[in-house]
């Protein structure tokens, strides 16, 4: 586990990278990291991810109590749910990536099997049903796919998780790359199933 000071530094760096790479815009999205078995840090509500600072981050316990800082993201409940469901997960990233949203608004499924990296980092990417941001219904929709390394959220965005913050970040970057590739490649064939199975064994 990370010390709180180190976790704050790394989470802010992650937020700035996500913003700089256009994976999220303005105050959209929310990111969190586990400090220990009982506590997480999460981005605050309504703060631009390109401007967020270490002391802006909110510390919470696994019961949803705020331990320090201001107001947590309204979507903190699905972060906590993913952590409870997956003890090996230490970071959760939720963004509104443009190409992922383009695929979602067209009603398409994401093809994560066009390249080896898509299979290795993402595997199959489910899409959870639409629900109002911040609602209990959204938490229920997300938790249906709580074990997925990456998922899309209908008309909303994407969530990735990882054993480290870097892994969760890399999955979000790869997710948007695969969505962009899918749009550019049109009806390109996916990798053969025999190759997909080989790659899955390498994960």
Residues labelled catalytic: 75
**Burial class, 56, CB count within 10 angstroms (exposed 0-12 / middle 13-18 / buried 19+):** middle
| DSSP letters for 76-87 | HHHHHHHHHH-T
Beta strand residue intervals within 88-198, DSSP E: 91-95, 127-128, 150-153, 157-162
């Amino acid at each position: 586990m990370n010390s709180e000071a180190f976790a704050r530094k790394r989470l802010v760096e992650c937020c700035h990278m996500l913003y700089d790479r256009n994976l999220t815009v303005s105050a959209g999205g929310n990111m969190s990291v586990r400090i220990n078995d009982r506590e997480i840090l999460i981005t605050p509500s309504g703060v631009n991810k390109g401007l967020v600072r270490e002391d802006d981050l909110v510390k919470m316990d696994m019961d949803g109590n705020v331990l320090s800082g201001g107001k947590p993201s309204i979507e903190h409940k699905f972060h906590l749910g993913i952590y409870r469901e997956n003890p090996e997960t230490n970071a959760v990233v939720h963004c509104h990536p443009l190409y992922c949203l383009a695929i979602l608004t067209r009603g398409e499924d994401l093809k994560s099997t066009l390249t080896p990296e898509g299979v290795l980092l993402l595997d199959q990417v489910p899409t959870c049903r639409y629900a109002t941001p911040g609602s209990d219904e959204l938490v229920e929709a997300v938790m249906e796919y709580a074990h997925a390394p990456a998922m899309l959220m209908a008309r909303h965005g994407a969530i990735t998780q990882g054993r480290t913050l870097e892994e969760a970040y890399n999955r979000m970057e790869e997710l948007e790359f695969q969505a962009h590739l899918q749009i550019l490649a049109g009806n390109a064939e996916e990798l053969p199933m025999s190759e997909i199975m080989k790659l899955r064994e390498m994960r």
